[in-house]
């Protein structure tokens, strides 16, 4: 779903520099029209607001991924829907793992100036292959070391800058298939 923002948001986004993108992102975050909606909000390179409705499995898998990362890599921090500045607007991975160093650098930012080391996208029915590939490239270009893609059945694929990897290099014990808690 694409929602048109106010003309000043669209104008700012269409002529955006990194600073302007962040200013516009803050305006969106503070706008009461977007508070409490059951969608993930991102922006594209044209300044359009992208809203993605999800089904329950999406949230369950995000929670499960975070718990596994916290168990297997307790020295970092996990998060959900942490905004990342990319060359094509603000993108929001479903789950992330970030080192203490990047956490300190990005915690107070409106959107991460450098991507968390691990960015995870959980596929929804509406995701196209092209969209997922674009996000992988954008997260890696923004500084992610790995991008993981989890499908609706809990199968996970791991990507690094060179392409798909057989397992995570950062967290080699992370399983290629997960089940949400309670399954």
The percent of residues above 70 in pLDDT, for the chain, comes to: 84
Whether the pLDDT of residue 145 is over 50: the answer is yes
Q: Would you state the pLDDT for residue 22?
A: 73
Whether the pLDDT of residue 1 is over 50: the answer is no
- Long-range Cβ contacts of 15-18 (<8 Å, 24+ apart): 16/47, 18/85, 18/113
Whether the pLDDT of residue 114 is over 70: the answer is yes
Superfamily, domain 54-165? tt1808, chain A (3.90.1570.10)
Q: Which of 104, 1, 6 is nearest to 50 (CA)?
A: 1
What is the pTM (predicted TM-score) of this model? 0.81
Segment of 27-36, 69-78, 121-130 carrying the highest mean pLDDT: 69-78
Task: State how far the alpha carbon of 40 is from the alpha carbons of 70, 84, 174, in Å.
Answer: 23, 13, 26
Q: Identify the weakest region by mean pLDDT among 1-15, 16-30, 62-76, 161-175.
A: 1-15
SS3 72: helix
Q: Residues 27-31: what's their mean pLDDT?
A: 79
- Work out whether strand 118-122 and strand 84-86 pair parallel, antiparallel, or are unpaired: unpaired
Whether the pLDDT of residue 38 is over 70: the answer is no
Q: Identify the weakest region by mean pLDDT among 47-51, 63-67, 125-129, 177-181.
A: 47-51
Domains of the chain, residue spans: 2-52, 54-165
How high does pLDDT run on average in the chain? 84
Q: Would you state the pLDDT for residue 124?
A: 84
Exposed / middle / buried, residue 69 (Cβ in 10 Å: 0-12, 13-18, 19+): buried
Strand partners, 177: 155
Count CB-CB contacts under 10 A for residue 62.
Answer: 23
Q: Would you state the pLDDT for residue 118?
A: 98
Count CB-CB contacts under 10 A for residue 49.
Answer: 24
Q: Would you state the pLDDT for residue 180?
A: 63
């Amino acid at each position: 779903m694409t929602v048109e923002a106010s003309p000043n948001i669209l104008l700012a986004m269409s002529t955006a520099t990194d600073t302007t993108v962040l200013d516009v992102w803050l305006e969106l975050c503070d706008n009461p029209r977007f508070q409490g909606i059951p969608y993930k909000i991102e922006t594209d390179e044209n300044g359009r607001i992208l809203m993605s409705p999800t089904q329950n499995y999406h949230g369950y898998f995000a929670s499960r991924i975070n718990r596994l990362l916290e168990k297997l890599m307790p020295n970092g921090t996990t998060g959900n829907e942490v905004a990342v500045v990319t060359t094509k607007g603000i993108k929001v991975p479903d789950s992330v793992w970030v080192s203490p160093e990047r956490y300190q650098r990005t915690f107070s930012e409106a959107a991460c100036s450098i991507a968390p080391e691990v960015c995870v996208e959980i596929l929804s029915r509406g995701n196209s292959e092209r969209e997922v590939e674009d996000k992988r490239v954008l997260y890696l270009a923004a500084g992610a070391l790995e991008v993981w893609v989890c499908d609706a059945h809990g199968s996970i694929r791991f990507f690094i800058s060179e392409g798909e990897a057989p397992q995570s290099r950062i967290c080699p014990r992370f399983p290629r298939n997960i089940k949400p808690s309670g399954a």
